[in-house]
Structure 1
Amino acid sequence: MMAMAMRRWPLHRGIHGISAKRALNTKPLFDENVLLPLFPESVQETIKYGLNTQGFCILRDFASSDIAMAMRRESERLYAEGHMFQSNSVDAEGKSYPKLNVYASELNGNEWDIAPTILHYTRSIMLQAPEMLNKLFPGLQISSRAYASKLAVSLGEGASYPKHCDTAGLPDKRKVTMVYYLNPKWKLGDGGELRVFGPDGTHVIEPHVDTLAVFWSDLVAHDVLPCENPIEDIDARRYALTLWLVTDNPRQINDKNHHLYPLRQHHFPNTG
């Protein structure tokens, strides 16, 4: 069995006030008082069908190219100005190891001067997605207050993620993973594709800009293929913002009665 990434990401709270520190000279391309309309009925239907049948779904053209491009520019600035640090994982034996050429930041809501679009996107997700998911999946009990996040960049030259489930088990209560890709110039050969191991086989998802991947954090095994670009190629660096939604019901984590639980056991038979 390959090593599992089992990092316990800190939970953030108080998303209602996430945009409180906007600088007076900042002019974002959105009204900060109006949430991004991310979950129309058609998107909700796609999410429900995908999570029910495959454990994941892929949404292209999710927020808008303008929003995604603004988030890319903000991400590049965060990295350039030293706000992102060596990313680490923990293997199945509890040993920490650095991810090759991967850097990450856990934004806490105080970066409005640098990353207003990223924070507004996060706020829009967290003020809409829990209610939406709880409606689609009664009993899920996704929290509207607690979540975890990570903005990551894979610089290239072999940067990758090993096969894992995001949530190894309690006390980690992350239930739904939402990965938003910020790579407008990605092309075949760059690498960095998300690879999801579904019930009907392996799916390879290209990390194009304005694409959202949604999957069960505790049930769906996945990895990220090596990024093959030179580190010096700034445009080819792979940026992604991950939000983890947390359940208030611990029985939802690694639920052996879930029809997709055998999928997890197939890849990690001695866990969960």
Structure 2
Amino acid sequence: MSSSELFDRIAHEIYQQGYCVIRQALPEKLGMALAREVRTLPDDRFSRAGIGRQADYQNVEAIRRDEICWIDNSTPAGQEWLLWTDGLKQALNRRLFLGLFSFESHYAHYREGDFYKVHLDAFRGQQNRVLTVVTYLNPDWTDNDGGELLIYPEKSGVPLLTVQPEFGTLVVFLSEEFPHEVLPARADRYSIAGWYRINTSDRNRVDPEL
């Protein structure tokens, strides 16, 4: 599947149902470069993940236990990833008129026993995250390794989707619409989580910061 065909499919499914899950969607060369990089980064590049934004940010290990490293243009793999996601942003803006403005993303490492309980990536009227993107960097993942992503309908406790964190799988969904969680991993689990954001700047503040 070409990038244009893939981006068309993502746009169509987001328009129809607000989410999509596509196996083997991430270009293999890019996925392997990212998988190598996340496993060779120094430990001090990772920090324990928290919840909340800015002044409300806090570490709550009863809710979330993964470690994260933000991705930037400082490495070839990071540059290639950000270029690919920028192409997706432009395609979605052309097809869906979402007004996506910027993108932020990080590597996530879940060690054995790590999890992330049910949460939303954005709350209506409080944040400017519009679209969540998740991809997986686990070439040899098996069903016995756990770490599934569960995605819920907005007003239901019954999962809508269960996604295995298999290499190259891409998950995209509306950030305000779908609560989700990561079940405990039983092996080292690597992924990328990212968010497309709109520009909510005004005369008193810049958000998102560039």
Q: With structure 2 as the length reference, what TM-score do the two structures score?
A: 0.81
CA shift at 1:121, angstroms?
Answer: 1.3
CA shift at 1:225, angstroms?
Answer: 1.0
Structure 2: stretches of 5+ with no match in the other structure: 202-210
What whole-Å deviation, never above 9, does each CA across 1:169-203 have from its counterpart, x for those lacking one?
Answer: 44521101111110111111211111111479521
CA distance in 1, matches of 2:159, 2:110: 26
What whole-Å deviation, never above 9, does each CA across 1:152-174 have from its counterpart, x for those lacking one?
Answer: 100112x1111111012445211
Secondary structure at 1:88 match in 2: coil
CA distance in 2, matches of 1:39, 1:66: 13
Instruction: Name the residue aligned to 1:30.
Output: none
Instruction: Name the residue aligned to 1:177.
Output: 132
Asked if the contact 1:71/1:117 (under 8 Å) is kept, the reply is yes
Superposed CA RMSD in Å reads 2.5
CA shift at 1:39, angstroms?
Answer: 2.8
Q: 1:129 aligns with which of 88, 94, 99?
A: 88
Instruction: Name the residue aligned to 1:29.
Output: none
Instruction: Name the residue aligned to 2:103.
Output: 147
Q: Within 5 Å, which residues of 2 pair with 1:1-272?
A: 39-41=3-5, 43-78=6-41, 80-90=42-52, 96-99=58-61, 101-110=65-74, 112=75, 116-126=76-86, 128-138=87-97, 140-143=98-101, 146-157=102-113, 159-198=114-153, 202-229=160-187, 237-248=188-199
User: 4+ residue runs of structure 1 moved beyond 4 angstroms?
Assistant: none
Asked if the contact 1:168/1:218 (under 8 Å) is kept, the reply is yes
What whole-Å deviation, never above 9, does each CA across 1:80-129 have from its counterpart, x for those lacking one?
Answer: 442111111149xx57234454110113323x2xxx22331122211x12
Equivalent residue letter for 2:15:
N
Q: In structure 2, do the counterparts of structure 1 residues 86 and 131 end up closer, same or farther at CA, with 3 Å as the change threshold?
A: same
What whole-Å deviation, never above 9, does each CA across 1:181-231 have from its counterpart, x for those lacking one?
Answer: 1011111121111111147952101110011101111111111111123xx
CA distance in 2, matches of 1:125, 1:211: 15
CA distance in 2, matches of 1:188, 1:224: 14
Q: Sequence identity, in percent?
A: 24
Secondary structure at 1:180 match in 2: strand
CA distance in 2, matches of 1:176, 1:151: 17
Equivalent residue letter for 1:47:
I
CA distance in 1, matches of 2:11, 2:100: 15
Structure with larger Rg: 1
